[in-house]
Amino acid sequence: MYFDALAPTYDADFTATPLARALRGRVWARLDAVFAPEAALLELACGTGEDARHLAQRGVRVTATDQSAGMLAAARAKTAGLPVKLASLDLAAPALSPEIQAGAPYAGVLSNFGGLNALPRHRALAEFLAPLVPAGGRLVLVVMGRWCAWEIGWHLLHWQPRRAFRRLNARGSTSQAGGADFTVYYPSTAALQRDFAPHFQPARVWSLGLWLPPTYLEPLTRRRWFPFRLVAALDRRVPWPPLADHTVYEFVRRA
């Protein structure tokens, strides 16, 4: 699994950066408003467990899942002593494990920072989640969107039109992690809502990283001339239109 190779340095390379903290802080603020202490939450593509730890420290009971054994090992160490259970889950072929079943029913489901972009379609995942979430339960899914104003502008400025519009390719875009190539898919809002529609009703759509640059441009934010505080404040206060590196989709389980 290519993400195994990223696990030992993922927190240093991404989680601990000011850009990641600013973006994650906005997601946490929303999660804290939506999920009360003692609620049960299922997390998809949990990575090194940063979100699970934050939620568990508030008293939320988290079942955190990932396909990468390396990421799960990092999450296990990070969440030791907290109400967090860990389980392996392949989003492309989700199967109900004893750990996931034991935590159900779930007040909600979280997937942060593009874990769902590994899938070309999301209908099978929605079918898997539906029995685990009762009516009124909420999904908070942070997905890399199809239109990213920063990415388009940056790559056009550098005479890279193919990279500027790579997200529009329905067959996905090739990326690399841990020395291996993999495909990243960028669903449209309509496609994502259609895949979840039989069981989940759209509740809210908002931008994450509309004013802040994509995470691969993080070194740009460390330059002296970059007005990081101003841009981060704009990102908090102006979350529309959904033309950001990530789009946050909130769904409510239908009755």
3-state per-residue secondary structure call for the chain: CHHHCCHHHHHHHHHCCHHHHHHHHHHHHHHHHHCCCCCEEEEECCCCCHHHHHHHHCCCEEEEEECCHHHHHHHHHHCCCCCEEEEECCCCCCCCCHHHHHHCCCCEEEECCCHHHHCCCCHHHHHHHHHHCCCCCEEEEEEECCCCHHHHHHHHHCCCHHHHCHHHCCCCEEEEECCEEEEECCCCHHHHHHHHCCCEEEEEEEEECCCCCCHHHHHHHCCCCCCHHHHHHHHHHCCCCCCCCEEEEEEEECC
pLDDT number for residue 182: 82
CB 83 within 8 A of CB 59: yes
Under the banding of pLDDT at 50, 70 and 90, the label for residue 178 is low
Among 38-47, 124-133, 153-162, 173-182, the range scoring the smallest mean pLDDT is 173-182
Among 3-7, 109-113, 174-178, 215-219, the range scoring the smallest mean pLDDT is 174-178
* Residue 105, preceding peptide bond in cis (omega within 30° of 0): yes
pLDDT tens-digit map of 51-83? 999 999 999 999 999 999 999 999 999 999 999
pLDDT number for residue 133: 98
Note the residue count of the chain.
255
Identify the CA nearest to 75 among candidates 95, 94, 99. Answer: 99
pLDDT higher than threshold 80 for residue 179? no
pLDDT number for residue 11: 86
Residue 129 C-beta-side C-alpha neighbours within 13 Å: 33
pLDDT number for residue 141: 98
pLDDT tens-digit map of 183-241? 999 999 999 999 999 999 999 999 999 999 999 999 999 999 999 999 999 999 999 99
pLDDT tens-digit map of 144-164? 999 999 999 999 999 999 999
CB 119 within 8 A of CB 91: yes
pLDDT higher than threshold 70 for residue 143? yes
Q: What is the C-alpha separation between 137 and 166, in angstroms, rounded?
A: 34
CB 252 within 8 A of CB 138: yes
Q: What is the C-alpha separation between 232 and 48, in angstroms, rounded?
A: 24
Q: pTM for this one?
A: 0.95
Q: What is the C-alpha separation between 102 and 93, in angstroms, rounded?
A: 19
State mean pLDDT over 110-139: 97
Identify the CA nearest to 52 among candidates 23, 88, 22, 76. Answer: 76
**Mean pLDDT across the chain, nearest whole number?**
95
How many of the other CB atoms lie within 10 Å of CB of 38?
11
Residue 51 CA from chain centroid, whole number: 10
What is the fold, at CATH topology level, of the domain defined by 2-145+184-253? Rossmann fold (3.40.50)
| Encoded amino acid at 137, one letter | G
pLDDT number for residue 2: 64
